Structures are given as structure tokens and as C-alpha cells.
Chain A
Amino acid sequence: MTSEPAHMNPARSFQGLILTLQRYWAEQGCVILQPYDMEVGAGTFHPATTLRALGPKSWRAAYVQPSRRPKDGRYGENPNRLQHYYQFQVILKPNPPNLQELYLGSLEAIGIDASVHDIRFVEDDWESPTLGAWGLGWECWCDGMEVSQFTYFQQVAGFECSPVAGELTYGLERLAMYLQGVESIYDLNFNGLEGVEKVTYGDVFLQAEQEYSRHNFEHADTEMLFRHFRDAEAACRRYLEAGEPKAGSNDSRHLMALPAYDQCIKASHMFNLLDARGVISVTERQSYILRVRELAKACGAAWLKTEGGGVAA
């Protein structure tokens, strides 16, 4: 730490926080991935979590995932809410016995000193109806503030996790606000520099928040979104069908699980946008969630027939 310049300090720099977490989890043997190149609602949607959580193979990964929650947009006017924000996601499968200690180590690495901060694990069970997934765990509190979500995956895409993976999700903006002591996301120091060189979170994202809020709530082309939802749903089914092992072939592997899953992600995001536009009624809402879940389950089933899912080549 001492060799690093001050502007890399995770308590002063948003990117310093990200880099510190990446370095810490890299040291723990995680594959450091880059964000998935699709719009997702949470880091969990990244195939590196959803699909890799299934099957017997060991897996350790960490990555930043930009997450889109169209409904949470506030035109840049709310200091705590964004329609696009960053999650830092860690998955360790099977979970090591000392996962809690590793997690506490990561807090120490970013400057949260356990001798002055009150760190607590408060019951919070996680469930994703769209992914057909659930787990038990906690929200991790630091001085009364939730800074991470800690989950032992029990089921994903409707399948029992065997072995169980431990998943950690850090809400990066909120954590950074606490570390930097600022009251608005937009005041976060992004690059850790001062004076003219300082770049804030607002400099980077405020305009985007305003524009996307307009898009999400007022202008998003709902006819197109409905069409894209249907298209993605149909494409997902087609790719799953196309990738199925051929009858009579020696190869029992599924060959298209990942491209099919992309379409599931796409359908989910289309649904989130339509939901934000307020064009999905309460009763329809449930049926859309179910439709996405059916895709997720089918993709999970396909993944379990791939090498990544544990089938020998």
C-alpha cells in the first residue's frame, strides 16, 4: 500500500476502491473477469455467476458488473439512486470454510478497520424469481449501513447447487460514499485526484443518468421492446433446440448454452425496461417473470450438459 500513490487510496478514489478489491480477490486465486458485455440487472446475471454456479466444477471469479435498473432512475436528482451503477461480484465455488474471514479481509484491504467499525452479519435471504435462484446469507452491515450482500447459493435456474457457491456482492457506490464521507453519489471522487485533475462520479455519469431516465420512463420504444422480448424469447428457445445433443450421436454435450443464455439476459432487460415504462400490468408482470424464469431454467439445464457444466469432453 505504501508504494502506491495517494490517489489510488480506496478511501479517496472510486477506481482505487475497485482496483483494491480486484487485487485482493486476485490474491485469493480468483479469475478477474471484465464486465459482461450485455445489459444486466445485477452482477448475478453474468454467466460467470449464474451458469458457473451450476455443476460440479470448482470456480473462483471476481469482476465489476455495471448493473441497469431502469426503474431506479431519478433523473440525476436523488443523491442515492441510480439506474446504472456498479456491483463488485465475487463467486467462490465451493465456498471455502473461511469465506467470512476472507470477506472481512477485503473490508480491511479497503480501509475498514474492524477495531473501530461495527461489522455485523444480519439475516437476509436472497431470492431471484427471474433466475429461479435462492440462497441463504446476510446483508453485511458496517456501522448500521449495508455494504455487501453475502449469499450461499442453494439453487440456481431451478437446480440444486452441488457444490454450493458463496457469492459476495459489494454495492460500490454506497461503499465508496461511506469511505469518502460524501452525501451524494455524484460527489464521489472517481480518480482520487484533486483540483483541476479531479474527476467526480457526476462528471462521468450525471448526464447519462438524466438521459437514461428520460429514455427509461418516457421514450423507450415500447412496441420495439415488446417485439424484442418476444424475439429474444424465441431465439433462446431456438438456440437451445439447435444445441441439443443429436439423437444417436456419441457426443451428449449441449453446444449452444451460452448464446441461448444471452437471449435470456436480453429478455430480462427488455422486461425491466417495459416495467419502468409502466406498460406491464400487475397480473402480466408475474407472467413475464415466469417466462424469463423458464428461459433461465432451460439454459441452466443446457449448461449442465456442457463441459463447463461438468460433462467430460
Chain B
Amino acid sequence: MPDLLLELFSEEIPARMQRRAAEDLKKLVTDALVERGFLYEGAKAFATPRRLALHIAGLPVKGQDVREERKGPRVGSPDAAIQGFLKGAGLSSIEQARIESDPKKGEFYVAVIEKPGRSTPDVLAEILPAIIKTFPWPKSMRWGAASREPGSLRWVRPLHSIVCTFGPETEDPEVVRFNVDGIASGDVTKGHRFLAPGEIRVKRFDDYAPALERAKVVIDTDRRKDMILHDARDLAFAQGLELVEDEGLLEEVAGLVEWPVVLMGSFDEAFLDIPPEVIRTTIRANQKCFVLRDPGTGRLANKFILVSNLVASDGGRTIVAGNERVVRARLSDAKFFWETDQKVKLEDRLEKLKSIVFHEKLGTQYERVERIAALAKELAPIVGADPALAERAARLAKADLVTEMVGEFPELQGLMGRYYATLQGEHASVAAAIEEHYKPLGPSDRVPTDPVSVAVALADKIDTLVGFWAIDEKPTGSKDPYALRRAALGVIRLLLENKKNLQLRSVIYNALQKLEAIFVVDPKSLEAAQAKLAEIDDPAEKPDLSYFKTQDLLEFFADRLKVALRDQGARHDLIDAVLSLSGSSDLLMIVRRVEALGRFLDTEDGRNLLAGYRRAANILRIEEKKDGRSYGEAPDLEIVNAQGQIEEKALVVALDGAKREAAAAVEAEDFEGAMRALSRLRQPVDAFFDKVTVNAEDPALRANRLRLLNSIREATRTVADFSRIEG
């Protein structure tokens, strides 16, 4: 079966876009083929800085033939009808149509239309230009004389040539001819920009890849990565060193070369006084080079690995010397920053935070630090931290933003603060909290455990959330520009993983109240809030706007908690069952309740109680609907005593006990105890359903029994909303 080879040759494609572009190309072309009924055996796409390539193996030579019969008018129909039929069926005379007959319709014409499958190259020539013209680059551009015209071709950088061939292995493939904005497809490409700039005529993928390889182009990104990694490790090993591996950097440098040549350079040992993270960041960010370490001590070595795109005629001496020069200049800068920064104490930098706007409506970093410090101090006792240390750490936490080093390398924020704090003799927990207060930065990031870090990390995130809630800048859909979901997840993980109880409600409410002056309220939620306010008579009970915003933010937390628990495999229905009832804003308690509920439902008592609950709820639903009223009142004990059966009486007693016991246990946060109390209901509930007829003939007795069923429902509500439980 024939193969397709497609290559789009352009000026340098940004490294970060290459892999995705190759995948997009493969998907777009194969989808378009499959949509037209062309199946294939395999497809693989490639990318280098200067080309995207696609190989599709095992395509048919042409599409399937299609045979269609079209019924026409009756024999002897008016001429207009006959002519219309001929035209529609593509026939030139009525003799070409068959005559069939049918008992109802009589004799009528039938045209047999045979559409031979289109040749694959024709279909490709139709599909490919459209894909190229609408290719989903993250950013694209126009260029050259063609850009005088509106609607000229856009590509990531100027597109120069297109190779497109199709054919079986045994014959010379043909060029699939098409033209995109003046670029005609052909079978000629070019090799490495400097090492083999000449033109190369290619036939098919099998000779394309080796021809390029001879022309110093490795088309497969993963192979380039392997080459770099192996050579880098070997070079390091030969020096008794170890490569500090960096997948992101490896991917990037593999996208900057067509022919990787790995070289080693070195720098003055004196630079090793700079923190290793700084050296690594400097060399990585500016030079896209790898650093090396001594496998014995784990310390950085004064060597680096660079990946060039050239087999240089001097063996790479000039390239290494040039890179060493730049690394030297960069490390000199870093050393200068490192030394200068140490001359000013962190607390003396705070004044400068006044000139950094955190958010137009939320004020400067200085104001933010003030808020975080107050909040961290308030939270400290709750998470077991020394309030003075928490406040100190919070106050210094953002000071490194105005150091030279962080100005140059923003990704070192926090870490530099920790270094400088340690150097100026701060308490170890304060120094650690300065670095760790940004954490966790995502679902897999480490959660700090030092109580001071926990206090400041919580304060930082809660302040962010409360602030953006105050000004009504909440995440919507996929838009979350201030990473508020991440902040909420951070709070959740900090509390759960450190097992800290915190009533978020009062913390949030108090923080919001302090921001009332800058509140932004969306008119819709204001309306809803006012409607709710109108329902409340007692002026002392009237909630304020902070109350509504608190509610809203707590709901956001509940959503994030659900997502987080679900990701850990918790049953979403149990989370709903607990969340829908709990007035608690203590996340740890909610999670414990979910866990206890899950364990309870795994026991036989739990399963039976759930079955009993459902039976009660079903009967109630049906009867309440039938009667058009609810049976929400407490059962009349006199009726039970006077007319009730023994099982009924037993249930009343059991319900009363279980409800009180469960409520007390919940109060004491003893969820196991609450479940145990409920589990004692199982036997009396079962007995009740076994022996007692709910729909008694005496209407008063019946009504009272329905109220009893309602009591079962009510009792379970002390721990969870059983109606939310599935399965």
C-alpha cells in the first residue's frame, strides 16, 4: 500500500510549539482522510526547528467506488420531468436509464450512477492546502510581498517549501501537486542550514529520513533528546561528574537544533559561592545550558553542558569559548546581585513594596503584606505556630520581590528571601516560611509542615481569595487569571494534610469585613442578596454583604474540596451527602465525616439502614404526594402508646435515643460514634417494616406512622443527607 510523505519547510519554529504542531498536523490530516473514507495503517509526525514532517503509511491508491440507484419518473411522464431526472442523474439520454416496474407505480425509470473512488492524490491535493491555511499555530504571522494582499497565508514563521509525495514502495512515487499562496508542492527539501544547505530530492519517507540524516538533520525530536542526554551524561561521566537532568530544558534544546552537538564549558570556581539554584537558573534561563554536580558531595561543579547545532571545523573551541564568556558575564551579574542584596536587610525593603501594585483595586504589595501579617498572627494559634514568628515571617515574605536577584529571576522568589533571611539571622522557621508560603503550587507540589509556614501559607492564600471575592473577580469557566482555584486547593491541602481544624467561615467573614470599602458587587448577586434580606424580619439577624460573599466563597471551597476528594478517589455522592447538610466550614471535619460515612456504609448495618431509610423515604414520597401534604411533624406519642404495635413503640424509643446520641457525637466530632448510634436503628427499623402496616385503616394512626417514617429520615440527617447517596 502506498505511503504519504509531507514536509513543511519554514524558518525557525519556536521550540515550545514544535511537538504540539507535529501532533496537530498528524491529527488534522488523518482525520480529514478518515472522514473521506480513507483508512491507513500508521502515521507519525516529526518536527525540527525548520520543518514539520508527516508520514502516513498504508493508504489506498484510491477511494471506494460508490454505486447508487436513483428512481426516476414513470415511463411516459411529461418531458420536463424526464429532463430534470436526466440532469440530476448525469445522463445524456433516457436510453441510458433502466426501466423497472412495480405493481403500484407501474413502469418507471431507474438511473444507475457509478461514482468511481477518487484517486488519493486528488483528495490529498484538496485536503492539504486547507489544513495548511488554517493550521492552529498559537501565534502566526504574514510575510513578504504576498502580505500586500488581505488574507495572505499565515504560518508560524515564513513557510518556504512543501514536499508532498505519494506512492507505493516499488515504484517512483508521484508528487501530490497543490499550491498554497504561491508555494507549489514538490519533492525538494534542504538539509542543515550550515552543514548541508544544498537541495535534496526525496522520494518517500524511507529515503527522506536517511537523506536528511546524511544532511545533518535528525527529524525525530525524541531521538535528538536521546542523543543530547547520552552525550551529556557521557561528557559528565568522563569528568567524574553527574548531569543535573532537566526534562523541560532537554525538550527545549532539542527544539533548537537539527543536529545536536554536545559540548562542555567551565566557569571560575569562585562563582560557586552563589547559591546553586541561582547558578542553575542563570545558566538555564539565559543560556539554555545544563549544570553538573559532583556525585559524591551533591554540590554543583564549575562546569556546564551546552548543546550546539554545529559540527564546527575547530572542534567547537570557538563555540565553547563564546558560551563561557556569556556564562561568565551572567554569573558576574548574579554574584553582584547576590552580594548587593545582602547589604540591605529584608525589613528595610518593605517601604519599596509600596510602589508595587498587587492589583489596581486591591492596593500595593505593602498593604497586602500588612493584611497577611495580621491574618498569619491570628491563624498561628489555630495551627500551632508562635504568633510572633508567623507575623515576622509574613512581614518579610514578600521583601525579596524588590531584591535585584528576584528582579532578574522572578522564579527565584521565596527562595532568595529564605537565603537572605538566614544570612541576616532570622529564626529558621521564619526563613523557611518565607520560601514555603507560596506552597503548595498545585496538586502535586509539596505541602509545608512547619506550623509557621502553614500559618503564613494559609494567610497568603486566604488573603488572595478574600481580596478577589471582595472585588468580584472570581474564576469563570476556564478563565482563572489569578490562579484562585489553585489558591483554594492550597488552603484545602494545607488544612487536610496537616490535620488542622479551622472554621473558614469566621476567618473569611472577618477578612471580608475589613475590605468592605472596596467591595464590588455584581448586580445580579446583589438582587439575590436583597431578596434574601427581605425574608428576614429581625434586624439583628440581618446579614451584611460580607455574609453573602462569605457564603459564596465557602461554596467555591466546597466545589474545590469535592474536586480534590474526587481526585483522591472519594465517592462524590458521599461528599454531596455530607456537604449538603453540614453547616460546618471546617474542611477537616467534613472530610472526616465523609470518611466515616463511607466506612459505615461498607458495614452490613450501614447498608441495611440505608435500605430502611430508602424504604421510609419512598413510602413517604408516595403518600405525601397522594395526600398533597407533608408529614414533617413529630409523631404523636399518645397515639403510639394507645394504638401502636410493639415494634412501633420500640422504634420511637430507638429513634429518640439514636438521634440524641448521634447529635451529641457529631457535636463532639466523633463521627464513628454518630454512625454507631445510627447503626442501632437498623434492627428496630427492620422490625417496624416487617410487622407494621404503615397504611393503617385508621387515618390518624396512618398519619402518625407516616410521621414516624419521617423521624427515620430526620435521624439520619444528623450525620448526612442520605438522599444524596447513590448505589
Given the known inter-chain contacts A115-B194, A142-B322, A163-B144, please indicate yes or no for A100 contacting B355, CB distance below 8 A.
no
- For the complex, is B313 an interface residue (Cβ under 8 Å from A)? yes
Q: How far is the CB of B266 from chain A (nearest CB, A)?
A: 14
B1-60, CB < 8 A from A = 11-12, 14-16, 49
Chain A residue with Cβ nearest B320: A143
- For the complex, is A125 an interface residue (Cβ under 8 Å from B)? yes
Number of interchain pairs (Cβ within 8 Å) = 114
Stretch at the interface among B303-311, B434-442, B630-638, B706-714: B303-311
Given the known inter-chain contacts A142-B322, A144-B322, A152-B143, please indicate yes or no for A120 contacting B309, CB distance below 8 A.
yes
| Alpha-carbon distance A135/B308, docked complex (angstroms) | 27
Q: Are B322 and A96 in contact (CB under 8 A)?
A: no
Q: Are B360 and A283 in contact (CB under 8 A)?
A: yes
Stretch at the interface among B145-153, B272-280, B290-298, B584-592: B145-153
Q: How far is the CB of A143 from chain B (nearest CB, A)?
A: 3
- Give the total of A residues in contact with B, Cβ under 8 Å: 38
**Residues of chain B with a CB closer than 8 A to A119's CB:** 194
Chain B residue with Cβ nearest A142: B322
Q: Which of B11, B16, B317, B325 contacts A145 (CB under 8 A)?
A: B325
Given the known inter-chain contacts A123-B16, A152-B143, please indicate yes or no for A143 contacting B313, CB distance below 8 A.
no
Q: Are B194 and A162 in contact (CB under 8 A)?
A: no
- For the complex, is A110 an interface residue (Cβ under 8 Å from B)? no
Could you say which of A122, A125, A138, A183 has the most chain B C-beta atoms within 10 Å of its C-beta? Answer: A122
Q: How far is the CB of B335 from chain A (nearest CB, A)?
A: 13
**Residues of chain A with a CB closer than 8 A to B160's CB:** 97
- For the complex, is B611 an interface residue (Cβ under 8 Å from A)? no
| Alpha-carbon distance A238/B355, docked complex (angstroms) | 35
Q: How far is the CB of A72 from chain B (nearest CB, A)?
A: 14
Q: Which of B15, B141, B289 contacts A135 (CB under 8 A)?
A: B141
- For the complex, is B139 an interface residue (Cβ under 8 Å from A)? yes
- For the complex, is B157 an interface residue (Cβ under 8 Å from A)? yes
| Alpha-carbon distance A80/B289, docked complex (angstroms) | 22
Chain A residue with Cβ nearest B333: A80
Q: Are B144 and A95 in contact (CB under 8 A)?
A: yes
Q: Are B144 and A143 in contact (CB under 8 A)?
A: no
Q: Are A94 and B144 in contact (CB under 8 A)?
A: yes
| Alpha-carbon distance A137/B360, docked complex (angstroms) | 32
- For the complex, is B326 an interface residue (Cβ under 8 Å from A)? yes
Chain A residue with Cβ nearest B314: A116
Q: Are B142 and A118 in contact (CB under 8 A)?
A: no
- As a 0/1 sequence over residues 135 to 155 of chain A, the CB contacts with chain B under 8 angstroms (1 = contact) are 111100011110000001010
**Residues of chain A with a CB closer than 8 A to B306's CB:** 144
- For the complex, is A178 an interface residue (Cβ under 8 Å from B)? yes
Residues of A within 8 A of B (CB): 56, 80, 94-97, 100, 114-123, 125, 135-138, 142-145, 152, 154, 161-164, 166, 178, 183, 281-283
Residues of B within 8 A of A (CB): 11-12, 14-16, 49, 139-148, 150, 156-158, 160, 194, 256-257, 287-289, 306, 308-310, 312-314, 317-319, 321-323, 325-327, 329, 333, 355-357, 360
29 A–B contacts, CB within 8 A, in A order: A95-B144, A96-B144, A97-B144, A97-B160, A100-B11, A115-B312, A116-B313, A116-B319, A117-B319, A118-B322, A120-B256, A121-B12, A122-B256, A123-B16, A136-B139, A143-B321, A144-B323, A144-B326, A145-B325, A152-B142, A152-B157, A154-B142, A161-B142, A161-B147, A162-B150, A163-B147, A164-B147, A166-B143, A178-B322
